[in-house]
Amino acid sequence: GISNESTNDKSGEQSTDNIFHNELQPSQEDIQKQRQTLPAYKARGSLIPMIMNNQVAIIIGETGSGKTTQLPQILYEAGFCHDNTSIGITQPRRVAAMSVAKRVATEMNTPLGQKVGYSIRFEDQTSAETRIKFMTDGILLRETLLDPLLLKYNCIIIDEAHERSLNTDVLLGIFKNLLTKRKDIKLIITSATMNAAKFSKFFGNAPQFTIPGRTFPVQIIYTKSPVDDYVDSAVNEAVRIHMQTEVTSGDILIFMTGQEDIETTCESIKDRLTEVYAKKNGVGSFDEIDDIEIFPIYSALPPELQARIFHKLDHSKRKIVVATNIAETSLTIDGIKYVIDSGYSKLKVFNPRIGLDSLMITPISLANANQRSGRAGRTGPGIAYRLFTQESAEEDMYVQTIPEIQRTNLSNTILLLKSLDINDIVHFPFLDKPPLQTLLASLYELWFLGAIDNFGNLTSLGSQMSKFPLQASLSKVLIVASQNKCSEELLTIVSMLSVPQVFNRPKEREKEADQARGRFFVPRSDHLTLLNVYNQWKSNKFSSQWCEKNFLIYRSLARAHEIRRQLIKVMRENDIPLVSSGSDWNIVRRSICSGFAHQAAKVTGLRKYVNLRTGMAVELHPTSALYGLGDPPTSVVYHELLMTSKEYMCFVTAVDPFWLMEFGPLIYDIKRVKQYEDDCSTSLFGTSDDHEEDKVNHDFVDVKIEQF
Ligand code: ADP
Ligand code: MG
C-alpha cells in the first residue's frame, strides 16, 4: 500500500513535468484545493444519488464548472468501477480528449495511461488498469462494432453533447436501443447551457440536473460597422487592450477559425507590439518585450505546445491565447477577462450534388457567440469585443448551429450502422434527421464503391471496409491493393494521406522549399510522390535531420509511420495480406483508381480539367507533381478538392481511362448519371439551374465519344 503510493507519486510528478515544463509547478495540495472549489465537485452530494437512481441523467453546467474533469472522478470515488468495469467519457474533439485525460491523471496523481487513459484514432493510451477512459466519440462508436453491448463499461458519459457532433448524435441513437438491453449501464449526457431539454425528451424525459455556479457579467461590445478583415481588426483590438489596460487586469482570448488565421494573428500582434514598444522604450525585437506571451491553439499543433496555454505566468505578464472554437466549451483557460470574437468558425459542409465535404469558413451562430463571450466572465466581470455589428447578430445569425449530421457526408456513418445490423437507416432514431438528399448521396457512394448491394445490404467488401477507421474510399483502396499484391505501397500512401501536411514551406525560403519538394516528384502521381518521400525517409533511417534538410515535417512523417503501424494491425486482425509490388508502380496507380473512380477528371487545357461526373471545372493545385508537366495526363483521379477562389484538385494521379470504365461502369454510363443528377438536383444549397444540368450531360456524352 504505502510503498506503492510513493512510487505512484513520483511517476505522477514526472508525467506532469513533461506537459508543463517551464510552468510554475502547482503542488498536489494546490491542485486538490482548486478541484474542491469547482461547482461540479461541490454538487457531488446531489449528483451521486441522482445518477444512482436513474439510468439516464442530463447534467448541465457552465463551461469550466468541472463537468469533464470532476464527474468521472466523483463516480470513481463513489465506487462506480467495480468488477473491472470502467467509466468511459466521450469528447467530440481529439485535443480535448488528450488534454482532459492528462489533467485528470494529474489530479488523481497517477501516470497517464494507467488508471486514467485516453484513446483517439491511431493513438491508444490505455491499459488493462484503466478505469477512467477518455476517448473521442468516434472511438466509442467503433468499439460498439466489436462489443455491441459495451460490456466493459458500466457508465458512459457523453460529454459536450450540445456540440451535436455527428458521432455523438449517432451514439445517442444507438444508446436508445442499448439501454433496454443493458439495464445496468448508466448514461450521463453533459451539456453546456443549451439543448438540454431536447436530450431529456429524447430519453423519455430523463431528469436534468443543473450544476449551480456563478458567472460574472460580461459587457458585450459590437463594432459600429461591419469589419473587412477580422484578423486585422482582432490584432488592433488586442494591441489596444494590451496598451490601455493594466497587465494584471486579465488575459485576452481571441477566437479565430483555424491554423492559418491563428498564425497570422499571432505574428501580426508580435509585429505590431514590437513597433509600439520600439517607439515607447526602444526594444528591437518581440523577444525583448517582457510583459506578454502569445499562445496559439489548434488541433494540428503538437500536444506539448497545446498544453502551454494552461501555463500560469507570473504576475507581470499577460497571456494572449489565439484559439479555434476548441476554447469555446471544450477547454477552459483560467484568468481570461477579454474576449475578441472574429464571428467565424470552420465548419464541415457537405454538398450532395457534387458528393463532397468541404471545410468552409462560416459565420458562427448566436449560441456560439454567447459561449465565446462567456469565457470572459469566469473569474470576474469581463468584456467581449464582437467583430460584427449588433444588427448582423440580431438579423443574420442562426440561433443555433446546424448539427453536423445535417451538413456532412454520411457514408462512414451508414457503413458503420449497417455493420451493426441497423439496415433501416431512414428509421434510425436520430435526434435530428439528416436530409434525405444527403442520405441518398451517401448510400449512392457506398453502392458505387461496392460496399452495399442493390438492396442496400452490406457486401463482404463493405463489411471488410467497415473494419478500417478510414474514409470509405481509402478502406476500399487498401483492400483492393491487397488483392492486387501492392498493399505495402498503398498502406504507406493511405497513411501519408492521413496526416495534415508533409512538405514544409517556410515563408522566407519558399523557393528553396519548392525545389526540395520537386526532387521527390514522381511526375504523374502525387500519391506516388508521397510513397517516394516515405521510402526515402525510411532509407535514411527515419532521421529527423534528413527531414529538416529536405523541407519535410518530421512530426507528420512520424505520425504517418505510427498510423501505418496501426493500420497493419487492422489488416492482420482481418486476414488482409500485406504484399509489396516491388518496383511495379502501375498496379499501385490502378489500385488508387479503384477507390477514387468517382473523383475523376479529364483534361481540357493546360492544368485545367473537368470532373467527369459533375461537369465541374477543376484545376491542378500548384503544389501537385503534375503541375509542371508540359503534356498533362488526359485522365486523372484526385483525393480531395480544395475550394478557394478556384476548385483545386489535391493529390492527383494519372489513370488509364479504361480503368475508370472498369471501376466505375455504373457512373460512366449516361442513363445512371442522369438519374443520379436528378436525384441530387435539390441539394442543401438550392437547385442547380437547367443550364448547368445541360452542361453536365453534354460533358458526359463528350466523354463517351472521345475517350471510351
Ligand atoms: P467543464 O467540463 O465543466 O467545462 P472542466 O472540467 O473542463 O469544466 O474544467 C474545470 C476546471 O479545471 C477549469 O476551470 C480549469 O481551471 C481546470 N482545468 C482543466 N484542464 C486543465 C489543465 N489542463 N490545466 C490546468 N487546469 C485545468
Ligand atoms: Mg467540459
| pLDDT tens-digit readout, 514-531 | 999 999 999 899 999 999
Ligand with the closest atom to the CA of 60: 1
What pLDDT, on the 0 to 100 scale, is given for residue 624?
A: 95
Ligand 1 atom at minimal distance to the Cα of residue 102: 23
Decide if 63 contacts 375 (C-beta within 8 A): yes
Compute, in angstroms, the gap from residue 121 CA to the centroid of ligand 1.
23
Q: Work out the average pLDDT over 97-109.
A: 96
Residue 352: pLDDT band (50, 70, 90) is low
Judge whether residue 608 has pLDDT over 70: yes
Give ∠ CA 39-40-46 in degrees, rounded to 5. 105
More confident site: 117 or 440: 117
d(CA 261, CA 258): 6
Distance separating the N- and C-terminal Cα atoms of the chain: 76
The neighbourhood of ligand 2, an ion, using CB within 5 A, equals: 67-68
Compute, in angstroms, the gap from residue 169 CA to the centroid of ligand 1.
24
Q: Which three cell numbers stand for residue 235?
A: 490584432
- The mean pLDDT of the chain is 87
Residue 690: pLDDT band (50, 70, 90) is very low
Compute, in angstroms, the gap from residue 665 CA to the centroid of ligand 2.
48
| Half-sphere exposure of residue 167: CA atoms within 13 angstroms, side-chain side | 20
What pLDDT, on the 0 to 100 scale, is given for residue 118?
A: 98
Q: What is the pTM of this model?
A: 0.85
| 168, amino acid identity | T
Compute, in angstroms, the gap from residue 450 CA to the centroid of ligand 1.
46
Ligand with the closest atom to the CA of 310: 1
Q: Work out the average pLDDT over 23-31.
A: 79
What pLDDT, on the 0 to 100 scale, is given for residue 5?
A: 33
In degrees and rounded to multiples of 5, residue 619 shows phi and psi of: -130, 160
Residue 350: pLDDT band (50, 70, 90) is confident
Ligand 1 atom at minimal distance to the Cα of residue 65: 3
Residue 8: pLDDT band (50, 70, 90) is very low
Q: Work out the average pLDDT over 544-551.
A: 97
What pLDDT, on the 0 to 100 scale, is given for residue 686?
A: 27
pLDDT in tens, 566-591: 999 999 999 999 999 998 999 999 99
Residue of minimum CA distance from atom 6 in ligand 1: 66
pLDDT in tens, 106-139: 999 999 999 999 999 989 999 999 999 999 999 9
d(CA 533, CA 552): 9
Residue of minimum CA distance from atom 5 in ligand 1: 66
Residue of minimum CA distance from atom 13 in ligand 1: 64
Ligand with the closest atom to the CA of 23: 1
In degrees and rounded to multiples of 5, residue 157 shows phi and psi of: -105, 115
- Please choose from 159, 332, 334 the residue to mutate so as to test ligand 1's pocket, defined by most ligand atoms within 8 A of CB: 332
* DSSP 8-state symbol, 452: B
More confident site: 708 or 144: 144
Judge whether residue 597 has pLDDT over 70: yes
Residue of minimum CA distance from atom 12 in ligand 1: 66
Compute, in angstroms, the gap from residue 289 CA to the centroid of ligand 1.
29
Decide if 401 contacts 160 (C-beta within 8 A): no
Residue of minimum CA distance from atom 14 in ligand 1: 64
- Please choose from 28, 69, 188 the residue to mutate so as to test ligand 1's pocket, defined by most ligand atoms within 8 A of CB: 69
Residue of minimum CA distance from atom 22 in ligand 1: 103
Closest by CA to 161, choosing from 329, 47, 298, 48, is 329
Judge whether residue 635 has pLDDT over 90: yes
Decide if 185 contacts 178 (C-beta within 8 A): yes
Residue of minimum CA distance from atom 25 in ligand 1: 310
Ligand 1 atom at minimal distance to the Cα of residue 62: 3
Compute, in angstroms, the gap from residue 213 CA to the centroid of ligand 1.
14
Compute, in angstroms, the gap from residue 396 CA to the centroid of ligand 2.
29
Ligand 1 atom at minimal distance to the Cα of residue 40: 3
**For the chain, percent of residues with pLDDT exceeding 70:** 89
SS3 402: coil
Ligand with the closest atom to the CA of 92: 2
Q: Which three cell numbers stand for residue 599?
A: 473523383
Q: Which three cell numbers stand for residue 111?
A: 501516470
Compute, in angstroms, the gap from residue 361 CA to the centroid of ligand 2.
24
Compute, in angstroms, the gap from residue 331 CA to the centroid of ligand 2.
6
d(CA 549, CA 535): 16
Judge whether residue 705 has pLDDT over 60: no
Q: Give buried/exposed letters for 205-223 (b at 16+ CB in 10 A, else e).
A: ebebbebebebeebebebb
Ligand with the closest atom to the CA of 70: 1
Compute, in angstroms, the gap from residue 329 CA to the centroid of ligand 2.
6
Judge whether residue 15 has pLDDT over 60: no
Ligand with the closest atom to the CA of 16: 1
d(CA 487, CA 480): 8
What pLDDT, on the 0 to 100 scale, is given for residue 351?
A: 67
SS3 609: strand
What pLDDT, on the 0 to 100 scale, is given for residue 22?
A: 44
Decide if 216 contacts 379 (C-beta within 8 A): yes
Judge whether residue 699 has pLDDT over 70: no
Judge whether residue 385 has pLDDT over 90: yes
Residue 669: pLDDT band (50, 70, 90) is low
Residue 305: pLDDT band (50, 70, 90) is confident
Q: Which helix (H) or strand (E) holds 359?
A: strand 356-363
**For the chain, percent of residues with pLDDT exceeding 90:** 70
Decide if 335 contacts 379 (C-beta within 8 A): yes
Ligand 1 environment, Cβ below 6 A: 38, 61, 63-70, 99-100, 103, 310, 332, 334
Decide if 19 contacts 307 (C-beta within 8 A): yes
What pLDDT, on the 0 to 100 scale, is given for residue 631?
A: 86
Judge whether residue 612 has pLDDT over 70: yes
Judge whether residue 353 has pLDDT over 90: no
Judge whether residue 410 has pLDDT over 50: yes
Q: Which three cell numbers stand for residue 252?
A: 485576452
* CA 503 from centre of chain: 21
Those residues with Cβ within 8 angstroms of residue 275's Cβ, 6 or more apart along the chain or in another chain: none
